[in-house]
Amino acid sequence: MSTLQPVRGTHDLLPDEARRHRFVEATAFEVASRYGYGEIVTPIFEFTEVFSRTLGETSDVVTKEMYTFTDRSGDSITLRPEGTAGVARAFISGGLAQSLPLKLFYRGPMFRHERPQKGRLRQFHQVGLELLGVENPLADVEVVATAWRLLSTLGLGDKVSLEINTLGDAESRTAYREALIAYLAPYNDRLSEDSRARLAKNPLRVLDSKDEGDKAVVAGAPSMADSLTPAAREFFAAVTGGLEALGIPYTVNPRLVRGLDYYCHTAFEFTTTALGAQGTVLAGGRYDGLIGQMGGPVTPGIGWAAGVERLSMLVGEAPAAPRPVAVIPMGDALAGMTLAERLRAAGLAVDIGFSGNMKKRMARANKVGARVALILGEDEMARGAVSLRDLDSGSQEEVPLASVVERLTGRG
């Protein structure tokens, strides 16, 4: 007996689960298309610097989670841990600055070497979008609206909550960083090892720590709202006012942050408690400094990404696949195959029984959920006909072979 198993943290998508995944991805694509987003497909792996530059050399993703290897040319290559960096790289290398504004949608597998848990795998899948080249706060409103529309279309509107915060502009962040360091420094001995390292290099990330001791210290930390410039306050007011105008419910969470300096203004997450402990199913924010930091032209941007696995778990069941027609050739098997191809050419899903007696073939027809069975016995073939059995009612009638396609498609 084989002992082969999938690599830890990876998962086979068998047909039912794959159909649910495809439903989530297809719904995301349809919603994004409704808002004017075109699909972009970037490589699954990039030069490592694409991610080390964008995610921060000291981030957990870069230091602990990336799948990085040296290829045969001696280049350092990394399997993509997220989608935004690849889109930004494509914007720069493709010379797309003349095409702004750009609305781009992506989907596909991502890779992180982290502890597998419910809804989180080492190979996982995301859908996401990026809006590049628009500084207006109404862009933030529209991007959040696309996320809300996706979740509502999936039937998850009552299972998720939107949390939003402002990270301010560069001046606001500088002032807040200083206030936060001044507050946290006396508590240095009480912070976790990771947060002590962050305090020196990236203090905002301490606010996002999951360590209980860190959470207790952070509870009394100053709020970003106290450091906002008038311009940053006005920007955030325009965003929240836009959400209210569109009827999108939200809660301001002053502890919702993004640690990297290229993030600014709006940060948001849709969270749920339907999968156990509170978890994020979709997250996004504004990153006006990202493309400039990567060496491209300074370009405003905002976007979001959502985990397909978690959305799929929340959806539960995707709409049922179309019920097929079962073709059961009890005489000439090739005649059965020919009929099946005629039906498929007309747009019908068809399952054909290749072997077994009538009882076994009918059992298969019921197993695949067929709506009708077309039985081609020698007697029917001699009359140029087929027996059509309705598998819901059990009724059966004989139909001429020449008109069976029209009968099943409703065109006859």
Homologous superfamily in CATH for domain 15-169+229-315: Bira Bifunctional Protein; Domain 2 (3.30.930.10)
Closest CA to 389 of 378, 404, 402, 379: 404
Helix axes 15-34, 137-153, angle to 10 degrees: 140
Q: What is the pLDDT along the chain (412 residues), one digit of tens a residue?
A: 457 898 888 889 998 899 999 999 999 999 999 999 999 999 999 999 998 877 765 566 666 788 999 999 999 999 999 999 999 999 999 999 999 999 999 999 999 987 766 667 899 999 999 999 999 999 999 999 999 999 999 999 999 999 999 999 989 988 988 888 888 888 887 888 878 877 777 788 788 777 888 888 888 888 888 899 999 999 999 999 999 999 999 999 988 888 677 889 999 999 998 887 668 999 999 999 899 999 999 999 999 999 999 999 999 887 888 899 999 988 778 888 998 999 999 999 999 877 888 888 888 988 888 999 999 888 888 888 889 999 999 899 988 888 898 888 875 4
Q: Does domain 325-409 have CATH number 3.40.980.10?
A: no
Three-state DSSP at 397 gives strand
- Residue 103 token pair: 């609305």
Q: Where are the domains of the chain?
A: 15-169+229-315, 325-409
- In degrees rounded to 5, what are phi and psi of residue 285? 170, 175
**Reported pTM:** 0.86
